Structure 1
Amino acid sequence: MTRPPRRLLVAVNPAASFGRNRAVGPAVVERLTREGFEVAMLREANFELLRREAESAFAQGTDGLIVVGGDGIVSLGVNLVAQTGVPLGMVATGTGNDFARGLGLPHDDPAAAIEALVAAVGRPPHAIDAGVIRPGELRTWFANVVSTGFDAVVNERSNRMSRPRGASRYTIALVRELATFRPRTYTLTIDGVPRTQRAMLVSVANNSSFGGGMQIVPHADLTDGLLDVFIVHPLSRAGLIAVFPKVFAGRHTDHPAVEFVPARHVRIEADDIVAYADGERIGPLPIEVEIVPGAVSIFR
């Protein structure tokens, strides 16, 4: 019989949703404490300080890590718990919350998310897949999507914008990048098979969505032991504008310029492209991406 976790770390992103949900972290701690858990809250002035504090506290041992925020802090959590067996839980308070969406957790109601978490920590955790990225000797884990094309360029612009404060910031950045973006030439090696082609974007998905609910791979499964390579072949500006609204609802899958390739290992090479994973900047291509089945234990 699985012993319920008793000691929990709660890491709170101070900048999630531009600070609009600052009260949620203390509410999570108070609720878990009432349930009888020993809880330590980590909340720093900025994300880099939080990362360092979380790494230090995690290394001292815990029965579970709870993250409060959006997909940025999910990235922090996944990189701490992957292959350790320590379960990860979340209360979604960010602008995108794609990880919560993929898990079927509340993603737009913090109070409901807290109650879902309390119920989940009383049950045995579930195992889900995670991807690992290797640019050179470095290694980064991801739960959702790696972006290496038009979507990554949009992410670069979105991260430089201070307004608007919400999911629409990504959409506005997308519209602005449409004016100048051109297809890139990629060299892909998918499960050992090389191919060179022009494309608007190449993304590698573990989860179904990114960018606050854009269903780029509606059929993605967090437990199938596979990645899904999402390729958009060259399109005119008008064609790209026509496709992107369909992505939000997952209605782009039969478009002739769209291709999905299941894979376990992918190498991506292209000039002048910076990769992003779960909204976090990874660095310039080339990168190698691999799925690790069951790498992350989840309170769900």
Structure 2
Amino acid sequence: MPVSALRLAVAINPHASFGRRADVGPRVVEALRAAGHTVFSLHEANIELLRLSVQESVLAGIDALVVVGGDGMVSLGTNVAAGTALPLAIVACGTGNDLARGLGIPTGNTAESVQYLLESLTRPPRAIDAARVCHGGLTTWFAGALSAGFDAVVNERANLMTRPKGASRYIFALLRELLTFRPIAYRVTVDGVTSEVRAMLISVANNVSIGGGMRIAPEAKIDDGFLDLFQVKPLSRLAFLRVFPKVFSGTHTGHPRVELRLCRSVRIEAEGVVAYADGERVGALPVQVDIAPGALLLYV
């Protein structure tokens, strides 16, 4: 066995991209074993069983965790590895792949993704920031972004949709929710300073994008020790529809109703609002979000 060989747990979501990329996991496992690594291939019927399998592998002793899928798998991996010395590696083959895009990890080509993984494992892992969310006595980690407004409502609807396939689900979900959505009254505490605000969107970003390429915080840096707080103040439906397409290019930031600011800590309170982090449901507000600089090790 080569000196550089690692003990790796490979957690696979066979339903990534609605099952269209089901070949990726087996190809990753095959390539890693051919490279001399010891590989524990993990795939279960649902995400909770997979999470348990991953935790058992960590307890048994592994050198790194490889997640194969989209941002949901990144969320699983982040919540296992953040705040520990366990490195994470990502093979992106999901619908959104937002964290992978932000890190420059290949997303569309299986052979390229496998080669990228093999090469990244020959280098020391990179430390990036992660965000710790405290909610209802629980703690959840994210590496990408947390949504707690219209964007979270859209995420919840999109996750329940089976059509259309791909990232366009978010656009259809957005247009549907826009018909009835009203600005939300929030209490937001930023680095200890509290204010009452009305907003359509509030997100706390560590990465650039959410929802498969919506560049909500185009200047966000994933290792600067800061969060990017993104808010969209109340707009008419027509004005919102004019602003929304600009999110994909990141040119929305000049709009007078769009606010971006750096911070290290955010508490968000509102009635009847559910937060999402890295595309996964966190729970009802309030949430407390704090940056943890360098808390996540990644092979990139």
Q: Give TM-score, length-normalised by structure 1.
A: 0.98
Aligned to 2:81: 81
Contact 1:14 1:46 in 2 (8 A): no
Q: Deviations over 1:146-200 (max 9, x none)?
A: 0000000101111111111211111100010110001011100000011101100
Deviations 1:107-154 (A, max 9, x none): 222221111110000011100000010003100000101000000010
Name the CA distance, whole Å, in 2 between partners of 1:194 and 1:277: 22
Residue 57 of structure 2 corresponds to 57
Distance 1:171 1:4, change over 3 A: same
What is the one-letter code of the residue matched to 2:272?
A: D
What is the deviation of 1:59? 1.8
Matched, 1:147 2:156: no
**Structure 1 counterpart SS, 2:165:** coil
SS state at 1:253 partner = helix
Alpha-carbon deviation of 1:6? 1.2
CA gap of 1:171–1:35, structure 2 versus 1, over 3 A, is same
Secondary structure of the 2:128 match is strand
- Name the residue aligned to 1:264: 264
Identify which range, 46-55 or 30-39, moves more after superposition: 46-55
What does 1:1-300 correspond to in 2, within 5 Å? 4=4, 6-300=6-300
Instruction: Give the Cα separation in 1 of the matches to 2:173 and 2:276.
Output: 15
Residue 281 of structure 1 deviates from its aligned partner by 0.4
Q: Which amino acid aligns with 1:50?
A: L
Distance 1:110 1:72 in 2: 19
1:62 match: secondary structure: coil
Gaps of 5+ in 1: none
* RMSD value, Cα: 1.0
TM-score, structure 2 normalization: 0.98
Q: SS in structure 1 opposite 2:174?
A: helix
Equivalent residues of 2:14, 2:25 under 8 A apart: no
Q: Distance in 2 between matches of 1:58 and 1:240?
A: 45
Identity %: 57
Runs of 4 or more consecutive aligned structure 1 residues displaced over 4 Å after TM superposition: none
CA distance in 2, matches of 1:4, 1:213: 35
Distance in 1 (alpha carbons) for counterparts of 2:261 and 2:4: 40
Aligned CA distance change for structure 1 residues 66 and 258 (closer, same or farther; 3 Å): same
Distance 1:54 1:91 in 2: 16
The letter of the residue matching 1:145 is: A
Per the TM alignment, residue 17 of structure 1 is displaced from its structure 2 partner at its CA by 0.6
What SS does structure 1 have at the residue aligned with 2:251? coil
Alpha carbons 2:235, 2:257 under 8 Å: kept = yes
Amino acid at match of 1:249: S
3-state DSSP of counterpart to 1:203: strand
State whether residues 272 and 284 of structure 1, in contact with CA within 8 Å, keep that contact through their aligned partners in structure 2: yes
Give the secondary structure class of the aligned counterpart of 1:124.
coil
Question: Structure 2, unaligned stretches of length 5 or more?
Answer: none
**Helix, strand or coil at the partner of 1:139:** strand
* 1:5–1:63 contact (8 Å) kept in structure 2: no
* Distance in 1 (alpha carbons) for counterparts of 2:230 and 2:59: 36
